[in-house]
Amino acid sequence: MADSVIDKVMRRIEELGDEVFVAKDFWQEGRYDPVSKALSRLAVGGKIKKIKNGVYCTANIAENLKQRDPQAIKMAVLAISRSYGWCTAPHGETAKHFLGLVTEAPDIWMFVTNGTSTELKVCDIPIKILHRNNREISGLSFTTGLVIQVLKDIGKESLDDEMNRKINALLSESEKAVIIEESKASIIWIHEAIKKICSMELAEAI
């Protein structure tokens, strides 16, 4: 007997591990409506947690969201963005917090997107998403979008060698290579700043 959609979805969830997911993430397991119903039934049965309409996660991630863990918040926002086909990146102090430049968590977690501006709550965490033009967001990895938004928040005139070294030290070599490549379409001063940051010798960045 062929597996039911709910069986296929549950097996896929087990393969994914701790994650936040939406119906679109299970396109291989079935059509949208049956998958949505399967996720809802799994949540009702206590197999997964519902954190927002159409957005679900494993129990560990739900607990991490209650603790306002940045990684869990990131996963939730990216899952919501996937459901709408948006590209999204942290903004302002939220971006600095994700990168590690500031330790204090924001009261409102701010993001920018090429989609629609919206305000929402996930597990009582206030999240505000602002629309920006495609050039700033589209086609970028999370880390590239994060660094670009940090630089925009700091500003061209306030960006100095000390800050460049701090940012350099927070990025891996593989992340630097991706950021340089993906930022080519950014405004000139952003791309030049990224090249300078990423080309610094590790000894200088410590």
Q: Which domain holds residue 23?
A: 5-66
The per-residue pLDDT for range 48-60, each reduced to its tens digit, is 999 999 999 999 9
Other CB atoms within a 10 A radius of the CB of residue 46 amount to: 8
Residue 79 placed within a domain: no
State the DSSP string of 98-162: HHTS--SPPSSEEEEESS--EEEEETTEEEEEEE--HHHHTT--HHHHHHHHHHHHH-TTT--HH
- Residue 36 confidence (pLDDT) above 60: yes
pLDDT on residue 1: 43
- What would the mean pLDDT of 63-80 be, rounded to a whole number? 96
**Which CATH number is 60's domain given?**
1.10.10
d(CA 137, CA 13) in angstroms, rounded, equals 29
State residue 52's pLDDT score.
92
Q: Is 59 helix (H, G, I), strand (E, B) or coil?
A: helix
What digits encode the pLDDT tens for the residues 93-134? 999 999 999 999 999 999 999 999 999 999 999 999 999 876
Statement to judge: residues 105 and 46 lie in one domain:
no
192 and 113 co-located in one domain: yes
Residue 145 near residue 137, CB atoms below 8 Å? yes
Whether residue 53 sits in one domain with residue 96:
no
Together in a domain, 138 and 62:
no
Tally of structural domains, the chain:
2
The pLDDT tens digits of the residues spanning 137-196 come to 888 999 999 999 999 999 999 999 999 999 999 999 999 999 999 999 899 999 999 999
Order the strands of the 118-122 sheet from edge to edge.
Answer: 88-90, 109-113, 125-131, 118-122
Full-model pTM:
0.88
Are 38 and 110 within one domain?
no
| Residue 161 in domain | yes
pLDDT at residue 204 greater than cutoff 50: no
How confident is the model at residue 2, as a pLDDT?
A: 52
Mark whether 136 and 181 lie in a shared domain.
yes
Both 115 and 172 in a single domain? yes
Give the pLDDT mean for 58-84.
95
Question: Quick one: pLDDT band at residue 206, thresholds 50, 70, 90?
Answer: very low
Same domain (yes/no): 52, 132? no
In-domain check, residue 190: yes
Distance between CA 132 and CA 146 in Å, rounded?
14
Is 119 contained in some domain? yes
Clarify whether residues 56 and 110 are in a common domain.
no
Q: Domain check: are 91 and 179 in the same one?
A: yes
Based on the domain organization, do 147 and 201 belong to the same domain?
Answer: yes
pLDDT at 136: 72
